Structure 1
């Protein structure tokens, strides 16, 4: 695996970001990057969108929300979105992205990070659980909420 790095979204890379595609069977479980960037635009005060590069190659996208005053506790420090390009999965880039979000949360003095997922055959739940997230018993609409303590 080429050492990955996070890069801010800019005018120079936004088109490539919007073209990033997850595996076909995952498309019902995660919004496209373009939708995430639109959400980040309208919630710019809390959204933390980053592109994942391995060398010069775009391999993924991750977005967190840092909103310590949110009335819904599990949205205060939240792993909002993770998209790894289909041909770059199973190479450690997803783990890298989650660990980068956890590091940013620690830098901001958060005590935990939450994530949510839709249950189903191709759900990302097992991936997040392998990284240490544990279901809280809460649901966000039809999604399972999980937390990792920092």
Structure 2
């Protein structure tokens, strides 16, 4: 894949982020990116959204997280909300790169872990999250998996 870098979500990248393609079956696990972008407006101090760009300048991924040490729910204090990798770039290290950068951001902010909440199921994100280091630790009241990376 070459050299990857993170840039802030902006007017220049949001259209490309919204047009990231998915593999068949993945769409049932994701809401539109624009839903997550709204979080920046509601909570700009704690929302962290970045775009993964390859060495040719193409948008190949998107990662969104939240950091709020005062959130009443422990698993929402340092949490990966969303990660999208373009279908053609999946399996090439883009997702791992994004998670590594997210973990570094959490560490810089003084957190000792990053959580993720996801729905288990065939074609879902569980295998990816396990590969990049998340370990299931709990379940939400709705049966979703809560997994974490300890820093």
Fold-level similarity (TM above 0.5):
yes
User: Residue 5 of structure 2 aligns with which residue?
Assistant: 5
What is the CA distance between 1:140 and its match in structure 2?
A: 5.3
User: Residue 130 of structure 1 aligns with which residue?
Assistant: 131
Worse-superposed segment, 119-128 or 75-84: 119-128
User: Residue 47 of structure 2 aligns with which residue?
Assistant: 47
What is the CA distance between 1:39 and its match in structure 2?
A: 2.7
Where structure 1 has 5 or more consecutive residues not aligned to the other structure, the ranges are none
For residues 51-92 of structure 1, give each alpha carbon's deviation from its aligned partner in whole angstroms, at most 9, with x where no partner exists: 110120100100010011000001000011000011111110
Are 1:134 and 1:147, in contact at CA under 8 Å, matched by a contact in 2?
yes
Partner Cα distance (1:139, 1:42) in 2: 23
Are 2:61 and 2:94, in contact at CA under 8 Å, matched by a contact in 1?
yes
For residues 89-129 of structure 1, give each alpha carbon's deviation from its aligned partner in whole angstroms, at most 9, with x where no partner exists: 11100000011100000111111110011011011112111
Partner Cα distance (1:18, 1:85) in 2: 10
**TM-score using structure 2 length:** 0.93
Q: How many equivalent pairs are there?
A: 150
What is the CA distance between 1:23 and its match in structure 2?
A: 1.9
1:116 maps to 2:117? yes
RMSD of the alignment, in Å?
1.3
* Secondary structure of residue in 1 paired with 2:130: helix
Are 1:105 and 1:113, in contact at CA under 8 Å, matched by a contact in 2?
yes
User: Residue 145 of structure 2 aligns with which residue?
Assistant: 144
